[in-house]
Each structure stands twice: as C-alpha cells, then as structure tokens.
C-alpha cells in the first residue's frame, strides 16, 4: 500500500481523484488539503461520496507521503512547491500546466516528465515527477500522434473540439452559470488556447520537421462533462491504411481504442478511455477523438500515471463503466 496526499481538494479534479483512490486496492488516502474547507467532511463538498468516506479536509500537510497529487489552478503548483518541501521519496503528479512544456519541466531539483502514457510510457515508469497533460491536449494529441509518427502531417490541421461545463472548474463565472450555459453554445480562445503549446510539442517530438499550423477552435457545450474533438488534414493514403496505422499505434495502449463505428460522447463519460474513429473524404482524413475531460483528461490519467510509476497494473482503479443511459 502507498500513502497519498491531495493538494487542492475541493475542485472537480480532486473530487474525481478521491472517488477513484477510495476504491484503489493499492492506495490509502493520507490527507486531503484544502484551507478553505479545513475541518469539513470531504463528502460535504463532493456529495457523491456520502457513505463512501469519513475523510475530513485538513490544512495540515504530511511531507512524507509516497505520492502527492497537485490539483491546483494553473500557476499555483510552482508557488506551492516553492513554499513546501517534501521527502526525497515522495513522487509528485501535477495536474496544472506549470511543468508541461520543455522550458518548464525542470523546477528546482525536479525534472517533470510529460504524463501522456501513449507517448511517454517508458519514461513515466522511471519518473519521480509527472506533468499531467491538459484535457483538450490529451484528446487532440491522441488524434494526431499516429500521423506524426509516420511524418504524415504535411499540411495545416483543423481541430474543432467541444468541452463540458466542468472544464471551466468550480468557480462561477459569466459563462458557467446554468442560465447562460443551458441551451447555449459558444467558442472561446480561438486559435490561441493554452493547450496548443503541449500539443505542438508532442507532435514535433514524433515528427521532427513539423512546421504546419494546428488551427484549434475550442467550444463550450451545454453538457457537464466530456470532450468531443474532430481533427482533419490532408492525407493521401487510403482509409484502410489509416485504420491500420492507428490500430497499430495504439495496440498496446491500456485505454485508447480505435472504433470502426462513428462515436458519441456517452461512450466515454465516466471512464478513462479515449475512443478514436477515422473517416476519409476525398483527400481529407477526419479523426474523431472523445474523452471524459475529468478522467482521461485529468484525474483518471493522473492515476494511470501513478500506477505506472509504482509498478501497479496500469488499469488498477480505473475499470470504470460509461454512463450510456
């Protein structure tokens, strides 16, 4: 058994993380840190956990845990680690974007490995510090990496992706209130979303000469969770060649699967899966990629990384069923 600490315990990603870890056979949750909720029951915030745990939020930190999950807002993980020192054996998995890019991966005496198992599994297994990928970044990278591996992204890529309301976090804003979100649809940060940096970085890692544009249009959907992403680019091969390439690339992936059927979001919500589908139209290849933004796009992938780091079965604690109906 390993001891786990969670920092920033009141958000959506922390709630999902706690839910998974409570039923993980190799883990004990040592503490859940939240200064704003210290002394309150965890189930008073994460109400799906009523009857599942008696954990209490704390403002005290055990610096000797085996693994620490940072569920903090972007920019806050660095500040937290600057002010709090942990034991030499404590592994850290950060869910913010603070350490994802090559220029940010070395912090003090720590080197963070980018935590996309389908790309970095061998390095994750040996790592002590993980930068968990972003949610949009996960869905889009998994759509593009097989093409990049074979140097087949020779033209601009166009991506349209829709995320649920939980992607905006728990803090209320103009665009997260029910009356605004319900029966509504909008784009935001067109062509300039913060996840483009890590997407381009991973594509160039496999396709060294990549110099085209990834034109990304992020959208807000009027549903709670999930990401539905479509990407298309020029492709001279046949549909069967594309299917073979994608199936081969993900043949050893624990959670990424290529489907022959067109996809819909309920297939992956509440799971750690990414489902992919390829479609050919004239000289264009369309790749559909779907994930749960809070699981494969955040907490589920973080636990997947923890499993790899500690030598557990990669799927431990993550055999979750989609809520199709």
- Indicate if 274 belongs to the active site: no
- What does the alpha-carbon distance between residue 243 and residue 59 come to, in Å, rounded to a whole number? 50
Of 137, 131, 138, residue with least CA distance to 106: 131
Interval 40-73: pLDDT, tens: 999 999 999 999 999 999 999 999 999 999 999 8
Of 302, 296, 297, residue with least CA distance to 320: 296
* pLDDT in the model for residue 170: 60
Interval 72-88: pLDDT, tens: 988 899 999 999 999 99
* pLDDT in the model for residue 256: 98
* Element at 280 (helix H, strand E): strand 274-281
Interval 94-144: pLDDT, tens: 999 999 999 999 999 999 999 999 999 999 999 999 999 999 999 999 999
Instruction: Give me the catalytic one of 65, 93, 119, 135.
Output: 135
Dihedral (CA of 197, 171, 318, 264) sign:
negative
Return the half-sphere exposure (C-beta side, CA atoms, 13 A cut-off) of residue 82.
7
Q: By percentage, how much of the chain surpasses pLDDT 70? A: 98
Claim to verify: residue 74 and residue 159 sit in the same structural domain: no
Interval 222-257: pLDDT, tens: 998 999 999 999 999 999 999 999 999 999 999 999
Q: By percentage, how much of the chain surpasses pLDDT 90? A: 88
What angle do helix axes 299-310 and 117-126 make, rounded to 10 degrees?
A: 40
String of b and e for 205-236 (b: at least 16 CB within 10 Å)?
A: bbbeebebebebebbbbebebbbbbbbbbebe
Claim to verify: residue 90 and residue 148 sit in the same structural domain: no
Claim to verify: residue 160 and residue 241 sit in the same structural domain: yes
Query: Given phi > 0 = left and psi -120 to 50 = alpha, else beta, which region is 202?
Result: alpha
In which domain, by residue range, is 111 found? 2-132+298-310
Claim to verify: residue 97 and residue 154 sit in the same structural domain: no
Can you list the alpha helix ranges (DSSP code H) found in 7-75?
A: 12-22, 42-45
Query: How sure is the predictor about 324, in pLDDT bands with cuts at 50, 70 and 90?
Result: confident
- 317, part of any domain: no
Claim to verify: residue 110 and residue 140 sit in the same structural domain: no
Coil, strand or helix: which one is 18? helix
Neighbour tally for 109: CB within 10 Å: 7
- What does the alpha-carbon distance between residue 150 and residue 148 come to, in Å, rounded to a whole number? 5
Identify the CATH number of the domain in which residue 242 sits: 3.30.360.10
Q: Is the pLDDT assigned to residue 182 strictly greater than 90?
A: no
Residue 24 per-residue DSSP state: -
Claim to verify: residue 139 and residue 212 sit in the same structural domain: yes
Query: How sure is the predictor about 171, in pLDDT bands with cuts at 50, 70 and 90?
Result: low
- What does the alpha-carbon distance between residue 1 and residue 311 come to, in Å, rounded to a whole number? 12
The answer to whether the CB of 131 falls within 8 A of the CB of 111 is: no
Query: How sure is the predictor about 169, in pLDDT bands with cuts at 50, 70 and 90?
Result: low
What is the total count of domains within the chain? 2
- 274, part of any domain: yes
């Amino acid at each position: 058994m390993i001891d786990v600490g969670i920092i920033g315990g009141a958000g959506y990603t922390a709630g999902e993380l706690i839910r998974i870890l409570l039923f993980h056979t190799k883990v004990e949750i040592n503490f859940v840190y939240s200064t704003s909720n210290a002394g309150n029951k965890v189930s008073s915030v994460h109400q799906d956990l009523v009857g599942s745990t008696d954990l209490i939020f704390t403002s005290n930190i055990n610096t000797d845990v085996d693994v620490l999950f940072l569920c903090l807002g972007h920019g806050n993980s660095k500040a937290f680690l600057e002010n709090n020192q942990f034991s030499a054996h404590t592994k850290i998995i950060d869910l913010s974007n603070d350490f994802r890019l090559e220029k940010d991966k070395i912090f003090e005496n720590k080197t963070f490995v980018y935590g996309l198992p389908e790309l970095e599994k061998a390095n994750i297994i040996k790592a002590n510090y993980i930068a968990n990928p972003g949610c949009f970044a996960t869905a889009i990278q998994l759509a593009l990496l097989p093409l990049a591996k074979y140097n087949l992204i020779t033209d601009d890529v166009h991506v349209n992706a829709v995320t649920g309301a939980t992607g905006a976090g728990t803090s209320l804003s103009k665009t997260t209130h029910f009356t605004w979100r319900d029966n509504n649809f909008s784009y935001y940060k067109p062509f300039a979303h913060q996840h483009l940096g890590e997407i381009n970085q991973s594509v160039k890692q496999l396709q060294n000469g990549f110099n085209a544009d990834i034109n990304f249009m992020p959208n807000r959907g009027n549903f709670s969770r999930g990401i539905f992403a479509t990407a298309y680019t020029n492709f001279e091969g046949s549909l069967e060649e594309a299917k073979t390439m994608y199936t081969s690339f993900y043949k050893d992936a624990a959670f990424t699967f290529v489907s022959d059927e067109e996809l819909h979001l309920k297939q992956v919500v509440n799971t750690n899966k990414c489902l992919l589908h390829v479609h050919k139209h004239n000289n264009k290849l369309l790749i559909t990629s779907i994930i749960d933004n809070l699981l494969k796009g955040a907490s589920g992938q973080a636990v997947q990384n923890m499993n790899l780091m500690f030598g557990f079965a990669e799927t431990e604690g993550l055999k979750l069923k989609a809520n199709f109906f």
